[in-house]
Structure 1
């Protein structure tokens, strides 16, 4: 069977940077990229919304020696053409046998008829994903496992740490909390693993990342005897959704209360499952308040200058932190610290950040594979309730 000659349009490379490998299918077909597509990628790499995906596409092209690139159009008249028309002209100018333009641009698909060029859409497109979404915490079967990642073997997840493979044939239970899915169990494995100082958890709303992190934090700070953790800090960047609330009176805890009410409610829920008297000032009071010596909630601005030691630090909504804030915060961590980073890069409220340029994504991008670091994407069929389930499944 003769090889097919596929020519890629810009939109296909952006929608799935792995399309080159898929279309080549080993050595079965040839893949070409017009020079005009490179020009368009060069312009789009500065787009804050899709810049991270464009960078992936450029990286794929750069590291593929078998990829063919059409030379640019040379005549002055051709340079005045639209990008789509230049792509068609470049295909026509090359003596390529039966070229097939792969594009999801409907207008360009129509134009190919005038040039008598075969055309196909590319159906295996991916949504724009950040590094924290693409790296799920699993390594594909047959690939060398990433340090501190999981790999499926005969239906059982296996953890690949520095001590070698460890089959996860058991289920965690801490502070009365049992995981509702295999992914929650694996996330708890990372948070409870004494060899991991830093753990990041990515998930959409409702998959229990904050509840699991609090349960593990209470266990590490109040129950586990063979570590030096004796306090829990919860750090959160403050970015309001919708109308601003304006000035709030009171001390730090009172000012933070509207933003972290859910943390207070989750802590009380855990306290009702199993008493956590030491984190409250008066555990018998009708209005429970946190004991600052054992459980402290801080805005990120208060961390500067601090030296955190022998504690569990939960960083919530980390996708709303900048790279500089993330660096400043993580470099405050001293000896005996377990740091758990939580967030969802699809829910960036900070107007100066985006899905790829945010604290959570930078942590995954830069620390993946390091000793002492692990990452997990929580997912499953059940979230916090039926309405949330419907929203997540519908893609609202």
Structure 2
């Protein structure tokens, strides 16, 4: 049964191509939405770009006919029309909703469409699609079906972990170590394995006996980890199985995209930077380590920052400086593994030492800091690129960043979906989790969800309890 979907402005600003995602159903766009799109089109940020793209898409549809009468939308038989809000319907809203603001006008259009369907004798449901929680509540109060726009949402509880555990016998575990590896057909797999997924084999007779492997989709076999066990990264070494799997992906030049998801203190950023420095400075696989992160505050903004671009980026890049100082031996504290270094680096080295390490790397051309705001239009070849705090990016911003990757570049995105400071995304709709699901199973990509915090016992307790 075809449905009629009434779209709110925030849906189109979130995904300009939303009008193409409803297959053979009918789309209704209230004129109030067009007015709001017009007000946003001058915004220089992403919302302005999206507003202008929506306007262009609607203008292209005008070539098929009058939008007020409805035009064909796509090749599946769906239609789209722009509808005015009738004063009569607006007056029939409850007294509290008669102010005539934008949301109430959209509600009135949806109610009018519901009545038209009832008069015509059919019963296809009319659904108001909005990302505004309060508008969904008001729609429910006046008898409308209201839904969130979920096309690009990923249920965070079902996020692909990138790691699984499989029971095997001793002969099967021995077969992994010899060419061509262990075929997975005879194994009792919990679910279909994805390309480059980490698999821990556990001996049925001796459960304490385990072997870490990686699934190779091209041959359908499990192969032993080649790089992580042999890696020498100075003060850094993996402290749990997820970190071992992650380091193996980070050190493999054949894997061009790596995503690391995990709560605070699991070592995401530290592992990415350690692997990047090793491959840039020691192995010379890449020309430069490029680090970037969204410029989004935890609390209230401090205002405009003085100085050039490097000085302005200084406060935002301080966590990266802390991690680099720890990696480069900025203090005399003994090795603590890969649990993050914000606390230990702060104790270990002075601000002068941090700046010295930072400046030395930049002076040698091995390190570059890039503001995400200026990455559009660039092509980035032969670099190891780390995008930290990627959970604060929208799917559109993540697409923009990943499509900048040139020949020979590896890109690593790290983040914690439960610590989001961007008010326009959440744990289910941010660009990082969206990217994980989109690239799941691709031969060029790998993902690991890090589970165990290694920063300190207190940090791990806080991440779990708070």
Q: TM-score, normalised by structure 1?
A: 0.62
Match of 2:263 in 1: 204
Contact 1:132–1:345 (Cα < 8 Å) also in 2: no
Match of 2:181 in 1: none
Q: Give the whole-Å Cα distance in 2 for the aligned partners of 1:206 and 1:284.
A: 21
**Partner SS, residue 438 of structure 2:** helix
Kindly report structure 1 stretches of 4+ aligned residues shifted beyond 3 Å.
Answer: 42-49, 128-133, 282-288
Match of 2:440 in 1: 368
Q: Give the whole-Å Cα distance in 2 for the aligned partners of 1:366 and 1:286.
A: 40
Deviation of 1:368 (Å): 0.5
Match of 2:159 in 1: 134
Deviation of 1:129 (Å): 7.8
Deviation of 1:223 (Å): 1.2
Q: Give the whole-Å Cα distance in 1 for the aligned partners of 2:158 and 2:418.
A: 9
Q: Does 1:393 align with 2:464?
A: yes
**Partner SS, residue 266 of structure 2:** coil
Query: CA 1:385 to 1:139, structure 2 compared with 1: closer, same or farther past 3 Å?
Result: closer
Q: Give the whole-Å Cα distance in 2 for the aligned partners of 1:129 and 1:188.
A: 25
Query: CA 1:150 to 1:356, structure 2 compared with 1: closer, same or farther past 3 Å?
Result: same
The correspondence of residues 120-269 of structure 1 with structure 2, limited to 5 A, is 130-131=155-156, 134-139=159-164, 141=166, 142=189, 143-154=191-202, 155-161=210-216, 162-163=218-219, 164-168=221-225, 171-176=229-234, 177-225=236-284, 227=285, 229-269=286-326
Contact 2:291–2:388 (Cα < 8 Å) also in 1: yes
Structure 1 residues 4-55: Cα deviation after superposition (integer angstroms, max 9, x where no partner): xxxxxxxxxxxxxxxxxxxxxxxxxxxxxxxxxxxxxx98985678xxxxxx
CA-atom RMSD, angstroms? 3.2
Bigger RCO of structures 1 and 2 (CA < 8 A, at least 6 apart): 1
Match of 1:102 in 2: none
Contact 1:173–1:179 (Cα < 8 Å) also in 2: no
Q: Does 1:291 align with 2:291?
A: no
Q: Structure 2: any 5+ residue segments left out of the alignment?
A: 1-125, 134-140, 144-152, 167-188, 203-209, 332-351
Q: Structure 1: any 5+ residue segments left out of the alignment?
A: 1-41, 50-79, 83-127, 275-281
Deviation of 1:299 (Å): 1.4
Deviation of 1:152 (Å): 2.7
Q: TM-score, normalised by structure 2?
A: 0.53
Contact 1:48–1:354 (Cα < 8 Å) also in 2: no
Q: Give the whole-Å Cα distance in 1 for the aligned partners of 2:438 and 2:157.
A: 11
Match of 1:350 in 2: 422
Deviation of 1:171 (Å): 2.5
